[in-house]
Amino acid sequence: MSASDEERNSRRDPDERASSGLPAPHVPDLAAAKRLQAILSSPSYRKADEDIDFLASAEARGPRLELEYLKAELLLRRHGVTDTIVVFGSTRIVEPELAERRRAEAQARASADPNDAALASRFAAAKRACENSRYYQIAHEFGALVGAARQSGDQPRLAIVTGGGPGIMEAANRGAFEAGAETVGLNITLPHEQLPNTYVTPSLCLRFRYFALRKLHFMLRARALVAFPGGFGTFDELFETLTLVQTGKVKPIPIILVGETYWRRAFDVDFLLDEGVIDPQDRRLFRYAETAPAIWQEILRWGGPKEDLLFE
């Protein structure tokens, strides 16, 4: 820098010097320094992609939706997850050993106070949970079948995908995990946080803000949907899939309802048919199964020899 340049620089306003990236004056201007600090610490000065408050705002919902789609898409591609079997079911159906332990505890409390209606009700619920725990075992066995097919090379691209939570989802992830296969969990942020089950492959456990993007990723690679007994969440995913297939928005896939007795009570398709609100062919959009091998066989032979087979 020449002497004349240095002289001109020394006469610059401190604010101008700071904004231009010039060095600070030898004698600090405290007022200017405070103003500069206020600028640098202002949210407006943060880069947009580093401004968490901005990204969390209602106005930034569009970019958030795009980012939520893109992160999951790139991650699943990186791991070669191209074909999936989506498994849904109740978070409240637990493994038989745990269900039996809870039943024994509830029975002991109810026996200690036979006149307590609340304890009697909890004991009845615990007994029912023991009966339903067989679905945990079926989901566990089914996950193992799919995981073994992936590991053996029979279906190397195939992976179990669940919502990543407890209950039936845990069982399916656990079966695949114990077979040595990668397994996917698409978790979601809820008011009451749902922790992932520990059988999801760590690098394939994603957490979503939006149900819509989570559902999109459930369906993009789905080659089959297996629905175990469950509540509103299971119904939501099941009926959305049925609707997408019915309306031709996605190609038909095997939709297997596990536990015919349960599903006939929860979902009276014959009533809908009698009322004329669905067509006769809609009744054929899904099938029932009772065991893990039966689920697997329904998926493998789905479509028949003259249709597009699920697996080539």
pLDDT of residue 57: 93
Question: What is the percent of the chain with per-residue pLDDT over 90, rounded to a whole number?
Answer: 71
pLDDT above 90: residue 18: no
Highest mean pLDDT of the ranges 23-27, 149-153, 204-208: 204-208
pLDDT above 70: residue 239: yes
pLDDT of residue 303: 53
Q: Which of 3-7, 167-171, 289-293, 306-310 has the lowest mean pLDDT?
A: 306-310
pLDDT of residue 13: 52
The mean pLDDT value for 12-37 works out to 63
Report d(CA 131, CA 66) in Å as an integer. 43
pLDDT of residue 186: 97
The mean pLDDT value for 85-89 works out to 97
Domains along the sequence of the chain with CATH: 65-94+134-300 (3.40.50.450)
pLDDT above 60: residue 164: yes
Question: What is the percent of the chain with per-residue pLDDT over 70, rounded to a whole number?
Answer: 88
pLDDT of residue 181: 94
When the pLDDT of each residue in the chain is averaged and rounded to a whole number, the result is 88
pLDDT of residue 36: 87
pLDDT above 70: residue 295: yes
Instruction: For 96-138, write each residue's pLDDT tens digit.
Output: 999 999 999 999 999 999 898 999 999 999 999 999 999 999 9
The mean pLDDT value for 287-295 works out to 97
Instruction: For 176-209, write each residue's pLDDT tens digit.
Output: 999 999 999 999 998 887 789 999 999 999 999 9
pLDDT above 50: residue 55: yes
pLDDT of residue 158: 87
Instruction: For 249-263, write each residue's pLDDT tens digit.
Output: 999 999 999 999 999
pLDDT of residue 24: 54
Instruction: For 212-234, write each residue's pLDDT tens digit.
Output: 999 999 999 999 999 999 999 99
**Which pTM was predicted?**
0.83
Query: If pLDDT is split at 50, 70 and 90, which confidence band does 311 have?
Result: very low
